């Protein structure tokens, strides 16, 4: 079930275990249930497995949006792409549902809205991952720069100590 992979992705991408352990547990539970849904789809009748999958998605997408909004409000910058991506998917699902229930006219746009939303979500999550990779690269460069400065300070301190020691030896 896609919801399982969405939950695992959220746990990893949003660093839920480190950022907000309280948020981690519902995601871990839904990831486990989604994994069970994968097994259920192999052994249960199709109609029952489909109901389970729909329920997982109906709970999972709003949960992803809620947690993304809470983390963004708490200042976790990567949540901005994440929240926008899930909002796109949810919005496209609403358009599709509205056309299927007669609230909107059926058109090419409404019939393909789910695929459009999923594509936008994939693009936004790819940008989010690229942003995280860039951030990690910047942190790595900053750490290397700090290490080089520290090594330079140690070397200069050793050179001063050696020079001072040589002066003392020369004085004797």
Residue-by-residue pLDDT tens, the chain, 172 positions: 677 888 899 999 998 998 888 989 988 988 888 888 888 888 988 888 878 877 887 888 888 889 999 999 998 888 899 999 988 888 888 888 888 888 888 889 888 988 999 999 999 999 989 988 998 999 999 999 999 999 999 999 999 999 999 998 888 7
**pLDDT (0 to 100) of residue 4:** 85
Query: Shortest CA distance to 120 belongs to which of 83, 80, 85?
Result: 85
CA distance 68 to 133: 19
Positions of E strands within the chain:
none
What secondary structure letter does DSSP report for 44?
S
What secondary structure letter does DSSP report for 172?
-
Query: Shortest CA distance to 19 belongs to which of 95, 115, 132, 120?
Result: 132
CA distance 22 to 35: 21
Query: In the structure encoding, which two tokens stand for residue 156, read together?
Result: 């200069």
**pLDDT (0 to 100) of residue 1:** 65
């Amino acid at each position: 079930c896609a919801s399982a992979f969405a939950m695992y992705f959220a746990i990893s991408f949003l660093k839920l275990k480190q950022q907000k352990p309280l948020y981690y547990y519902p995601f871990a539970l839904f990831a486990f249930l989604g994994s069970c849904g994968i097994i259920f789809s192999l052994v249960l009748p199709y109609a029952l497995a489909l109901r389970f999958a729909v329920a997982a998605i109906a709970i999972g997408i709003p949960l992803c949006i809620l947690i993304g909004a809470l983390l963004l409000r708490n200042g976790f910058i990567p949540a901005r792409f994440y929240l926008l991506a899930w909002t796109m998917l949810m919005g496209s699902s609403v358009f599709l549902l509205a056309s299927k229930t007669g609230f909107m006219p059926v058109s090419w746009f409404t019939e393909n809205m789910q695929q459009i939303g999923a594509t936008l979500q994939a693009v936004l999550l790819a940008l989010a991952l690229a942003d995280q990779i860039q951030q990690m690269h910047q942190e790595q460069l900053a750490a290397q720069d700090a290490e080089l400065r520290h090594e330079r300070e140690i070397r200069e301190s050793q050179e001063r100590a050696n020079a001072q020691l040589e002066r003392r030896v020369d004085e004797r």
